[in-house]
Amino acid sequence: MNTEQLLEQLSIQCDHLRSLLQQQVPVLRDFSRRLLQITQQLRKNIDVRDNTFAEEFNQYVKNLRDTLDQVEPGWTELRTQIRHTPEKSWNGDLALAAKGLNIRAKALSVACDEFTTQYDIFGKQYKNFTAAKLNVWLLTSCQTDINSLTGKVLFLAREIARKTEQNREPLHER
């Protein structure tokens, strides 16, 4: 792949991951709401009406883990190809596309922050909850991987933008 194709693929991957995270936020928010209701019912010695919560939550985090495991190899391959691309290949003609990628990476970072916020809210609701076995460790693993991947994408986007700016011709030479 040439650098233009790499930038296009990276932008597509950013948008895909951002979309995936944006879909997860309301789902995790709903699980937090349901867990809060369950803990309130338990505190008041009321029969818990949400009998499917643990099963649905565990299935959700399993599906999220599977999805992230499918996405990761594509990111790894793209990052490897970009790292092996010579710096001079990132010419100034790609500066606009590189800035676009940088914007997409920042939007991905915002989606990651929203997911992390919902994860933190869920964690506060989950604290001291022992009524059902929830695979929160798997959710923690997913959140850690999402944060790590987002950080790598942000760094990569900044580096590409920096390289394209460095390789631009000065205005007086045009």
pLDDT for residue 65 is more than 90: yes
Whether the predicted pLDDT of 169 surpasses 70: no
What are residue 13's phi and psi, to 5 degrees?
A: -65, -40
Cα separation, 22 vs 15, in Å, equals: 10
For residue 26, is pLDDT > 60?
A: yes
Q: How confident is the model at residue 168 (pLDDT cuts 50, 70, 90)?
A: confident
Q: What is the pLDDT of residues 105-123, one digit of tens each?
A: 999 999 999 999 999 999 9
C-beta of residue 124 within 8 angstroms of C-beta of residue 39: no
Q: What pTM, to 2 d.p., does this model score?
A: 0.89
Can you tell me the mean pLDDT for 85-107?
88
DSSP readout, 87-123?
GGGS-GGGHHHHHHHHHHHHHHHHHHHHHHHHHHHHH
In this prediction, residues 42-56 reach a mean pLDDT of: 91
Please give the pLDDT value at position 173: 53
